[in-house]
Amino acid sequence: MRKHFIYHDGASYFIIPNLYSVAKDNKAEERRALAINQLGGVLSELDLVRTLSESELRRARQAEDRESRSTSSDQDKTRNHGLFSKGRRTLAIAGWSEDAQKYIEVFRLVQREGLTPILTVLSEARIAKAEDVSHKLTHEETRQAYIEHLSKGLDIDPALRPVLEKIDADEGGLSGGIVDFFQAEPAIEQHVSKELLRLSKQIAIQDNVITKECVANPKITYLRSELEVSRPQDAIRIFYALKVISDDLGRTSSHPELRAKIDEFLSPASPVTAQGIVEAMKTIGTCSRASSEAFLKPGDRGARRGLLPRDIAAQRARRGRARAVASSRRAKV
């Protein structure tokens, strides 16, 4: 890219070939021309370069004509030519074909200070590629790196990584236990759902950040596209759900044994397995369903729908009010 910049008559210019002039039988040069054309568009969008104005083009053509009519003395031969002649020579030095040199596009630099970092980054990327310093992570290294980046972005203590590993290895058993537990504690379910919705937004944002950071790192080949990111993300969601459940149980003083197990499970060095939490939650959910069924009268359809006693009572009240309204209407008729 640096070979496409020249200094002429007090200003700096970015020279590229016109796409139409590139040799059509040279596919490599066509791809190269398309890439540098797109780069010119990016630099223009960043206000680092601009196209020449009509007055600048007119002056450049006039200067070119004066140079072509100048004498052929030795002094004139050592002088430079006009901007366009210089531009074509620049493309020749940069390795473009004679066809590509016929028609050029000229951009004038606007901010040399802003362009310097871009040139530096491109040079460093080329050097890194030449030295072949890229390290390709294995699938397991990629998974570990993803969990590390995601945990860091969500402010999860690195010491809790073993807990996330335990949850991930559980393969969904905890999810089922939590669903059973919600049968007995619908208020906690609402709170957990609200917190998980907020967390999911943070996870989506952080996932995007991780992808950009890893793609931009020239020293590491990161197998992001081959990683099943839903599993570590689900492990973090379950981790947060358990924390919310434990906090809510602590405020209500209900199910103290379950809360103690959850707190111990969330400790990095704890021997408590996920299965112990699942069994405790399922027991609470089963007891809740049993009490609901005992509350039902014969013929109640709530049993099939898994409604809690208070929900069934509210349903009966609504039916009673509906019957009263219907009776009142019949009496008026």
Buried b (16+ CB within 10 A) or exposed e, 295-329: beeeebebeeeebbeeebeeeeeeeeeeeeeeeee
Final residue in a domain of this structure, among 73, 98, 131 = 131
Task: Tell me, yes or no, whether 104 and 152 share the same domain.
Answer: no
Task: Tell me, yes or no, whether 13 and 103 share the same domain.
Answer: yes
Task: Tell me, yes or no, whether 83 and 60 share the same domain.
Answer: yes
Final residue in a domain of this structure, among 102, 131, 160 = 131
Give the dihedral sign, CA 35/37/42/48: positive
For each of the chain's 333 residues, which pLDDT tens digit applies? 667 888 787 788 889 888 888 878 888 888 888 888 888 887 887 777 888 888 888 888 888 777 666 544 444 444 457 888 888 888 888 888 888 888 888 888 876 554 555 555 454 444 444 444 456 667 777 777 777 878 888 888 888 888 888 888 876 688 888 888 888 888 888 899 888 888 888 888 887 777 766 656 656 665 555 666 777 888 888 899 999 999 998 888 888 888 888 998 888 887 878 888 888 888 887 776 666 555 545 555 444 444 455 555 566 667 777 777 667 666 655
In a domain, 319, yes or no: no
Closest of 268, 266, 256, 205 to residue 233, by C-alpha: 205
Task: Tell me, yes or no, whether 255 and 202 share the same domain.
Answer: yes
Task: Tell me, yes or no, whether 65 and 160 share the same domain.
Answer: no
Identity at 226, one-letter amino acid code:
E
pLDDT at res. 304: 43
Phi and psi at residue 11, in whole multiples of 5°? -145, 160
pLDDT at res. 99: 87
Q: How many domains does the chain have?
A: 2
Task: Tell me, yes or no, whether 105 and 191 share the same domain.
Answer: no
In a domain, 262, yes or no: yes
In a domain, 237, yes or no: yes
Task: Tell me, yes or no, whether 218 and 265 share the same domain.
Answer: yes
pLDDT at res. 245: 92
Q: Distance between CA 124 and CA 218 in Å, rounded?
A: 9
For the full predicted model, state whether its pTM sits above 0.75: no
pLDDT at res. 12: 83
Contact 50, 108 (CB under 8 A): yes
Range of the domain at 265: 136-295
pLDDT at res. 157: 84
Q: Which two tokens stand for residue 178?
A: 């939590």
In a domain, 316, yes or no: no
Three-state secondary structure readout of the chain: CHHHEEEECCEEEEEEECHHHCCCCCHHHHHHHHHHHHHHHHHHHCCCEEECCHHHHHHHHHHHHHHHCCCCCHHHHHCCCCHHHHHHHHHHHCCCCHHHHHCEEEEEECCHHHHHHHHHHHHHHHHHHHHCCCEECCHHHHHHHHHHHHHHHCCCCHHHHHHHHHHHHHCCHHHHHHHHHHCCCHHHHHHHHHHHHHHHHHHHHHHHHHHHHHHHCCCEECCHHHCCCHHHHHHHHHHHHHHHHHHHHHHHCCCHHHHHHHHHHCCCCCCCCHHHHHHHHHHHHHHHHHHHHHHCCCCCCHHHHCCCHHHHHHHHHHHHHHHHHHHHHHHHC
Task: Tell me, yes or no, whether 147 and 283 share the same domain.
Answer: yes
Final residue in a domain of this structure, among 131, 148, 177 = 131
How buried is 277 (Cβ within 10 angstroms: 0-12 exposed, 13-18 middle, 19+ buried)? buried
Q: Which two tokens stand for residue 267?
A: 């400790």
Contacts with 47 (C-beta within 8 Å, 6 or more apart), sequence order: 110, 111, 114
pLDDT at res. 77: 47
Task: Tell me, yes or no, whether 52 and 143 share the same domain.
Answer: no
The CA dihedral of 250, 254, 257, 258, to the nearest 10 degrees, is -80
Task: Tell me, yes or no, whether 88 and 101 share the same domain.
Answer: yes
Task: Tell me, yes or no, whether 145 and 291 share the same domain.
Answer: yes
Task: Tell me, yes or no, whether 17 and 57 share the same domain.
Answer: yes
